[in-house]
Chains A and B, each alone.
Chain A
Amino acid sequence: MYTPDSEIENYLNSFDAVIKQIKEEIYRISWYMRGGVSSLDLLHYFTRDDRIVMNEIIKENIDLTQKSGLPLL
């Protein structure tokens, strides 16, 4: 069985996209958590479940900040 080069290339590109997505998520969480968790810890010690919880907290905080009219930064 043989997979054409173009198909392999698409496959590899999809891998790159997922890796980029994971990295972006990690750096974004780290930024929003304001020192509460480092990118390295997020990368090496926390699981996807933890990231889901952190994302929920971040969303909640953004919503609260917007409602209160206070600046996020």
Chain B
Amino acid sequence: MSSFNPLQKYYRQPKIYVALPSKGVYYPQGSLQGDHTNVPIFGMTGMDEIIMKTPDALFNGEATVKIVQSCCPYIKDAWKMPSTDVDALLIAIRIATYGNDMDMTHVCPNCQTENDLSIDLTKILDYYSNLTFDGKIEIDDLTITIRPLRYEEITKFNIENYKLQRTLFQLSQAETSGNDDETRKLQDEIYKKISEMQMDLFITSIENVQMPEAIVEDEALITDWLKNSDRDFFKKIKDKLETNKKIWDMPEQKVVCSNCGHESHAIITLDQANFFDKS
């Protein structure tokens, strides 16, 4: 048999079709092709499953990018997809590969009993399809437009944050074994870096600032304004980002303990390593 089969592109068929929560709005030119209301989703191949179990690829984001591009061919450059689509697409791929239900165990906070539950992922997908990203913040006569971060931006911030937190931990260990002054100096530097990173995150999220007479899109000008503006401005933007984060986080699942009847909420984490582990 020849090594190249011209029928290869017909091997996989879409399992489900989803509407992108972003409505295709935040994709740069060329990174999304096709109708955003009807995106075909394919099941993962063996290679996709292997990539999802490759630690370095999970850490640097390559695993998610590779499987999204493999299972959602409409998305040409998954590094550019907005954060609002990431969870919904991962759920859709999970459904296309393993089916609608995901089994998980939740420990009751009241009596520590392990409760097994099965989550219908289509309901979570429905939740995302009904959301719309609200990116307007109005402060006095200014309108600030924010956008969801791209996957490449989230990954960059996460890796940077991980490295800083890890260094902080190592320093706290060193502190207990002496060299206090030097360690504290290094800790202060790291806290400063974390704070600068948060500022970067804010600025990256701001698309433009609209004044009555003009619209400012220049990142340097926006940075300068934010650094010199009222604390109140800063707080309102922060609150909006946090509200959006809560809305776009995975909805919690209500669990009633089989042993004591205590009602609690299970959080589904989209840590891909766990999420794609069929159990």
Residues on A lying within 8 angstroms of B by beta carbon are 1-2, 11-12, 15-16, 18-19, 22-23, 26, 35, 38, 40-49, 51
A48 and B43 form a contact (CB under 8 A): yes
Chain B 200-226 interface 0/1 with A at a Cβ cutoff of 8 Å (1 = within): 000000000000000000000000000
- For residue B131, which residues in chain A have a CB less than 8 angstroms away from its CB? none
Instruction: Indicate with 1 or 0, residue by residue over B1-40, a CB within 8 angstroms of chain A CB atoms.
Output: 1010100100110000000000000000000000000000
Q: Give, as a whole number of angstroms, the nearest-CB distance from B31 to chain A.
A: 23
Interface residues of B (CB under 8 A from A): 1, 3, 5, 8, 11-12, 42-47, 49-50, 53-55, 97-98, 165-166, 169, 273, 277
Identify the 6 closest CB pairs spanning chains A and B, nearest first: A47-B43, A45-B11, A15-B53, A43-B46, A2-B169, A18-B53
Interface of A is mostly: helix
Contact: B53 with A26, CB < 8 Å?
Answer: no
Contact of B46 among A2, A11, A26 (CB under 8 A): A26
Question: B194: shortest Cβ distance to chain A, in Å?
Answer: 14
- Asked, given contacts A2-B169, A38-B1, whether A48 binds B97 with beta carbons under 8 Å apart, the answer is yes
A46: B residues at CB distance < 8 A: 11-12, 45-46
Among B11, B45, B169, B273, residue most surrounded by chain A Cβ atoms (within 10 Å): B45
Residues of chain A with a CB closer than 8 A to B273's CB:
11, 15
In the complex, the answer to whether A47 meets B53 with C-beta atoms within 8 Å is: no
Q: Contacts of B8 on A, CB cut-off 8 Å?
A: 41, 45
Could you give 7 example pairs across A and B, Cβ below 8 Å?
A43-B50, A44-B46, A45-B11, A45-B12, A47-B12, A48-B49, A49-B43
Q: Note all chain B residues with C-beta closer than 8 A to A1.
A: 165
Q: Are B11 and A41 interface neighbours, CB within 8 A?
A: yes
- Docked complex Cα distance between A49 and B98 (Å): 8
Residues of B within 8 A of A40 (CB): 3
Interchain CA distance A12-B101 in the complex, whole Å: 25
Determine the chain A residues whose CB is within 8 A of the CB of B1 once the complex forms.
Answer: 35, 38
The interface centre, meaning the residue of B12, B46, B165, B169 with most chain A CB atoms within 10 A of its CB, is: B46
Closest to A43 in B: B46
Distance to closest chain A CB from B138 (angstroms): 36
A48 to B46 CA separation, bound complex (whole angstroms): 7
Give the complex CA separation of A40 and B3 in angstroms. Answer: 9
CA gap between A51 and B45 in the complex, in Å: 10
| Contact, CB under 8 Å: B45 / A45 | yes
B278 to chain A, nearest CB (A): 8
Instruction: A22 to B97: give the CA distance in the assembly, Å.
Output: 14
CB-CB under 8 A from A41, the residues of chain B are 5, 8, 11
